Amino acid sequence: MTEKEPKILVVEDDASLNDAYKTILLSAGYDTRTAFNGKEALKLAKESQPDIIFLDLRMPVLDGIGFLRAYKPKTDHPDVKIIVFSNYDMQQEVDEAYELGAERYVLKAWASPKELIKIVKDTMANDQE
Amino acid sequence: MPAVSYISILLVDDDKKEYLSTNRLVKRVTEPKCKLEWCSSFEKAKELIAQHSHDLYMIDYKLGEHSGMDLLRMVEPDKRPEPFILLTDVADRTIERQALKLGASDYLVKGAFDAELLSNSFNYSLGRKQAEAQRFEHLIELNQAKDEFISVASHQLRTPATGVKQYIGMLLDGMFGELTPTQEAVLLKAYDSNERQLRIVSDLLKVARVDAGKVILKEAETDMNKLLAEVASEESEIARKRGQKIKLKPASKPATAWVDKDTIRMVFENLIDNASKYSRRDTTIEVVVRVNKKSVVVKVIDQGVGIEEEDLSKLFEKFSRIHNPLSTQAGGSGLGLYWAKKVVDLHNGKIEVESSPGGGTTFLVHLPRLLYK
């Protein structure tokens, strides 16, 4: 079975977490880039054409919801899987992200490195079904 | 609300003459402009007051077989936006003190007041209520600020703890080389400790949400036999690691309750997890589902260390930590049962506990079968 390795974009404003996710995903062999806010993410997404985006919601400059509004996953990028990755479990915010085209919401505090990699694998497996 | 150009007052007095003489005085009160209405029956007055019929109430001390005090006791003026003034035939300090204690704004002796005194009393009573309302509003604002602070602070605490989880997790996953058994054991302790911190933050957020009245239940018909089977199966994994078993005894008939599935699931995860934490190895936790006429009753029965009688009442309090032989290693936040009781109450359900030291503990959760109206 030839499985295409996904290209991943991590959007996370906390430097320490940004670095951790990059290290974990790179060590698992994924082509991973990182942005620190929604604006940077829009630029990087255009350049690198990711398959999966891990998106934090609360960020400076342009937040996750603002990113989704500009990126328009539903109409402009239907093949890109967006995983909302936030520690703010505010239902309203999460609902809004889903409405704007996010595929899944994961509480950041819940995901260990192993679980992070499992999310990537599950997302790709679902995509191939 | 339409603009009111006068203050509407209800006089509750069983004597028509009193009404006529008071009305003569009220008509001479110009500041504020008032309109007096009269009610002679205790029962009718109760009804009108319940409907917030007037802006101010004057209550006679003697109301046939009742007393004006009975009425004050029933309507609880403290919890109402309208002021109450008690009227008596003779000056009596004891009655005055009692009336004010029951929440009356003022106290007047019949025959001893003129239009000016009446005007002063009305203004004082209305002003006092307004000040109370402002103070109350301020308290609500303070409380909201506190809820907001807990929410923001808790969310902020999650980020660094999430970082710790990633870095220790990477070490434990062998990303930076193989670990010696001692290194692994130490890192596991750090990882577990951090997990506990994350759980406490989650509990704080859950409690802050329920305290702020922000829990919105999405109730639906829920098969409790099925839900408990799922929870028991999930929790069996953790219990097995502690050398314990979970035994489910479903109800023989359909056990459909009207609940928010996700919230009630967390309640039972919490109760079963507690049962396991406070039990030793080689014990069994029983989960029994029964259907009553109006409710589905779920019992979580453990053979654990039990609870002292004097601690039972503290169990559902916020941050209650009860000492028992397993409490130091159990490491809870003291918020789980407080939250569980709050959300079961929100469902119009009931949570009860039976326990004795060394004799195990049983939690009973009653959940409504039908839509509560």
A129 is a domain residue? no
pLDDT of B155 = 84
A interface residues, B as partner, C-beta within 8 Å: 14, 16-17, 20-21, 23-24, 27, 87-89, 108-109, 112-114
Helix residue ranges per DSSP H, B11-114: 16-28, 42-50, 68-75, 93-101
Instruction: Residue A63: give the domain boundaries.
Output: 7-119
The string of pLDDT tens digits covering residues B3-59 is 557 899 999 998 899 999 999 999 998 888 899 999 998 889 999 999 999 999 999
Residues B311, B355 contacting (CB under 8 angstroms): no
Nearest to B175 among A14, A27, A89 (CB): A27
Please give the Cα distance from B280 to B297 (Å, whole number).
26
Residue A125 domain-assigned? Answer: no
pLDDT score of B125? 93
CB-side neighbour CA atoms (13 Å) of B135: 8
B158 touches chain A (CB under 8 A): yes
Find the length of chain A.
129
Q: Which residues pair with B351 in a beta bridge?
A: B365
* Beta strands in chain B, from DSSP E residues, in sequence order: 7-12, 34-39, 56-60, 62-63, 66-67, 84-88, 106-109, 220-223, 245-249, 256-259, 284-291, 295-301, 350-355, 361-368
Buried/exposed code over B57-72 (b: 16+ C-beta within 10 A; e: otherwise)? bbbbbebeebbbbebb
- Rounded to an integer, the average pLDDT of B184-211 is 91
pTM of the model: 0.71
Confidence at A2, pLDDT banded by 50, 70, 90: very low
Total domain count for chain A?
1
pLDDT at residue number A3 = 59
Contacts of A88 in chain B (CB under 8 A): 155
pLDDT digits (tens, 9 = 90+) for B304-349: 888 888 888 888 998 877 777 776 666 677 889 999 999 999 999 9
Joined tokens for residue B218 = 């999405």
Peptide bond into B32 cis (omega under 30): yes
Q: What is the pLDDT of residue B1?
A: 47
Whether A1 maps to a domain, the answer reads no
Does some domain include residue A21? yes
Q: Are B231 and B268 in contact (CB under 8 A)?
A: yes
What tokens appear for B351 in the block?
């949570």
CATH number at residue A54: 3.40.50.2300
**Which residue, among A87, A92, A108, A116, would best test binding to B if mutated, counting the most B CBs under 10 Å from its CB?**
A87
pLDDT at B373 over 60: no
| pLDDT category of residue A127 using cuts at 50, 70 and 90 | confident
- Considering the domain boundaries, does residue A109 fall inside one? yes
- The C-alpha atoms of residue B201 and residue B306 are separated, in whole angstroms, by 27
- B149-153: average pLDDT: 85
Q: Per the domain annotation, does A69 fall within a domain? A: yes
Closest CB to B159 among A21, A24, A87: A87
User: C-alpha distances in angstroms, A41 versus A36, A94, B159, B314, B332?
Assistant: 7, 19, 20, 51, 40
